[in-house]
Chains A and B, each alone.
Chain A
Amino acid sequence: MAIDIDTARKVAKLARIRVEEGDLPALAEKLSGILGFMEQLNEVDVTGVEPMVSVTPMRLKRRPDVVTDGNIQAQVLKNAPDAREGFFAVPKVVE
């Protein structure tokens, strides 16, 4: 299925990646090429096949629901581009 410019704009928006209006046609073309390559999958008979969720047939391990660490606020915030008063700071979210 070919991706048109509107779809490319929508996908970029959903992915939260800014794409300039002028770059949308080239993006749409590249995405169409990649998705076209995937069309081959329609040749496969997948009737009755369950979608694979895990490569190994094993049950994920559970661990006790207990606190194992904490009190590391400074470490958690160490790499933040903007941290103030013990919090991550972001532009105003609520009007």
Chain B
Amino acid sequence: MRPEEIIRGEDCLTPADLEALLEGRLPEAQAHVDICPVCEYELASLREFLAGEAGAAEQQDLAWMEARLQPAAPPVTRRKWLSWFPAAPLPRFAYTCAAALLVVAGSLQLRHMAGPSLVDSHSTTVRSSQIRILAPAGDLDTAPVEFSWEAIPQAAAYEVVVTEVDGTLLWSNRTSSSKLFTPASIQQQMLPRKSLLWRVRALDAQGVVIAESSPERIRVLSAATR
């Protein structure tokens, strides 16, 4: 029998019960806390967490951590491609008309299309991606110890986002430099042969995104060592 099984009973309170007791919504639960050291301990822990009151000796380290945790950015005004579409569904005939127009336009384009030009048009390519990623990229022998990119003159900060290929966030952090070190714990989460994507965004002093890199695929070939 595990120690917890000896001293934790079926009548012990759930975290939701403890929360209700703290907020005065379940005062009758106090009688159980008065006889149960486990629930007394759990209640004290929850109360401490919710209070979030740092002692004098903790203030300096806490301030250091808060400065490095991703700060809450002001709302980013970003145009979403979904907003181009009307909220209400279009009537069915509208889709039929659109499809017919596409077929006509496509056939006209094919009729007027010339062969490939051998002359360089010197046209300027407009890209949404304005930050050039330096490293890491592609297959890596070990988990990357840092992410780096070319600096943008107007940028006040950069936000690095590492995700799995399905978009699940693995890690995100901000820096004012053009490189960001990877915490050891994050390196260890970069599992061998699992593809990840990372990108970097540049933010101005107001926290508005002013440039963004293309997503870069990376894959660690062997496990990280700490």
Do they bind each other?
no
